[in-house]
Each structure stands twice: as structure tokens, then as C-alpha cells.
Structure 1
Amino acid sequence: MTTTLITGANKGLGAETARRLIEAGHTVYAGARDAHRGREAAARLGARFVQLDVTDEDSVKAAAEFVRADAGRLDVLVNNAGIVGAGKIGRVGDVTGADMMTTYDTNVFGVVRVTHAFLPLLEASDVPVVVNVGSGLGSLAVTTDPSRIESQVTVLDYNSSKTALVMVTSQYAKAYPDMRFNAVDPGYTATDLNGHQGTQTVEEGAESIVRMATIGADGPTGGYFDHTGPAAW
């Protein structure tokens, strides 16, 4: 049985990814900051709830201990939890250091906290896989391509946090060659993060996440992917 943890799994892409992986036979631990919403979502999905706030070191450590005691290992980690940030679209000069710290605390440092805490459990797996959920808004290639809608969105904190996430992924992949570390761009998906303005459904958006969460030991590592395959960064 494949054991999987998904952060931010109570709604949106996290919940849809959980649903798809459970359907594929995974035992899924649905991580959520809000206990009430997390338990409701886990019950609805058939997942196991674990309270997990990626910005809180003690919460992350407690979640890792819970999974260790319950399963003894982790096969797949999906770092999905993220925030939109200060929301100062087109107002780069208004973004403060505090704004950047808040956004990075979830979107970058949170991924490092969770990955660091769960590395011993991943090392106990025969085929450990980590998927970091990024965004096309973090792609230098995409955001400078005038044919792409992402090139019209200027956001200092969120966009740069997703750029940093790709490099974080790359460095883990180099350091842990026996694990599969990849970042994915789900595409412009209708979720709470964008006020449900995205042009894709969560089913479509989860496609790249699920695909990379189900690769084998011979799968790619250190890459950046969208629903079509390897993506420009």
C-alpha cells in the first residue's frame, strides 16, 4: 500500500489530488491547518486527517510523528499548501519585506519545514516521491512570453516564491538521488486562491500533480512539469 501525505488537502487541488490517489489505492493522510475543515474533508474523501500548519514547526513535527507511529514510512509527499500572498497585483513597489516573509513562510519555508520533518520517513520507503506544487507564475520563461496570460500578472511575493520553490526542488533532487523530487505547474485552475477565476477545473489542474505523484523509481527527478510534460522554467 502506498502511503501519501498531502498538505492543504481539505479543498481545491489538494482535495482533488487526495481523491484521485485514494481511487488509485493510496492510503492518504490529508494535512490541513483547520482541524474542523480537515476532518470533514478527510471523512468525505476517505482519507486520514492529520492536523498540519506548515508555518508552525511544532505542528509539522507532530504531524511527522503521527504518520511515523501510524504507518512507519511515507512513500509520497505532496507539498500543496500555499497562499496567494499580499495580493498587491501590479503594485510591486508597495510590497514590503513583511509581505515577502509572510508569503515565503508558507510557499517556500513551509515546504522546507515539511520536507525536512518527513525525510526520515521518506528514506524508509522503497520508492520515495516528493511533488512540490508550483505555478506558471513562477516560470521565468512563461512570465516573459507575451502570448501567455501569466506575462500580464505582476506580483512580487507570490510569483517569486514559486520561482524559489523550483530551485528548492532542484537542490533536494541533487542531494537525494534515490528520491524523486519534482515541481509541477497545475495551470490556471479555479480555486479559492484566485477567487475561482481560473480557466481549468480542479480535475484538470490535479492531472500533473497526480501524474508526478505516481511515478516509479525510474521516473524523472529535479524537473518542472505541467500537464503536457516537461515545462520551461
Structure 2
Amino acid sequence: MTDNARRRSRERLEERERGILDAATKLFATAGFHATSTRKIAAAAGVSEGTVFHYFGSKNELMLGILDRFYNEVLNPRAAEILDTVMDTRSRLREFALHHVAALSADSALMLRLLQVYVGVELEVVGQDQLSSLRPLNRRYVGHLDRAVREGIERGDLRSNLQVRPLRDLFFGTLEYGMRTHLYHHGNEGMADYVDALLAPIWEGLHDNDRPNSDAELLTERLEKVSLRLERSVDTLEGN
């Protein structure tokens, strides 16, 4: 087999796998996990049921394949890009929030529903303390936010006594609850403005309100301190 033939064969296999994942994604999110059979997935993807099992040994593996693709092709690349290109802490958190909401609310919050379906299925199968399949995917993703917070603390943009884990829960919990309510009432229209409104009170609790907000203010504060020390020195000399 020539190199071109091998490449075309590989591309056909990958295209077939993507088709199965796409079909299962929509069916799981709309009809539910238990109501969706592998036969229905195969029909929607235009392949045989045996082909589905050739790629994925079970519906559970298929669900994990969907989420693995979502994390590694959608969530993580953009999150990493934000950390590499955006330096200001507040801007980082805003871009991260907008990315998270946009990814989960795509196609009328299809992926958000799918994540909820998966967690429900995993609880039935292995119990709450053993969500091993989703945990490594989620850990890598939230690690981007953790890094932004740690670096924000190191730079003095965020309060030094912040605890990363509670902040992470607050950040994602607020976004996902707010996103669901906004989608219900307004759809995706005005979502960015709503994210800004959600983040405003969170930011107020994260940064040091007494810290200067710009280099100019920081320089002014330092000059005032120097001036005060000089005045005290002069007073001491005059007193002698």
C-alpha cells in the first residue's frame, strides 16, 4: 500500500469515528443516555451497529470518547492560548469565562446537558467517589484557571490569602448556573454582557481594593511614601 493510500485509509477511519461521535453526541444530549441505543447511533451515523462496537466497546466508552474530544479539542486548546497571550489577570479571567460559557452553550447548551448526563450515568455505575473517567479530563482543564489564579496572586493582582479550590468552584458554579438561567430567558443573545455582570462581584472579592490599579498610581503611592520619609527626616533634623 502506498503512502497516499494509507493516508486516505486513515482519513476515512477518522472521518467514520467523528461521524459516530457526532451522532452519539446529539442523541445522548437530546434523547438521553438510556433511551439511545447503539442501533440508533449507527443509523444516525450511517454505519452498521458492528462498526460502532469496533470503535467503541460500549455506550459508556462512546460517551467518554465524546467528552475526551470536547476537552482536548475545544476546552483545553483555547484555555492554554489565553494563558499564553493574555497577561492581565482580570482580562484572563474574563476571557476564560467567555470561552467556558461559549463552549458549553454551543448548540443550545448541548455539551452542558451531555456533561450532566455523563455524571448521572457514572454515579449509577461506579458511585460518586469513583468518577475516574471524567476526573483527569476535568483536572487538566481547570488547571488552566488554577494557574491564572496563582500567577495573579504572585503578581499582587489577587489577594494573597485566596484558596484556589473554593475559588474554582465559585467561578465555574456561578458561570454555569448563570448560563442556564440566561439561556432559558434570552438564549445566547447578550451572553457576553451577562458574563461580565456575573464576574463583577467575584472580581471585587478577589483583588485588593487598596492596591493601586495602574503603574501611575503605584508610582504616585511610592513618591508619597518617599516624601513622607523626607519630611520626617527634616523634622528630626530641625528638632536637633
TM-score for the superposition, normalised by structure 1: 0.30
TM-score for the superposition, normalised by structure 2: 0.29
Which has more helix, going by share of residues? 2
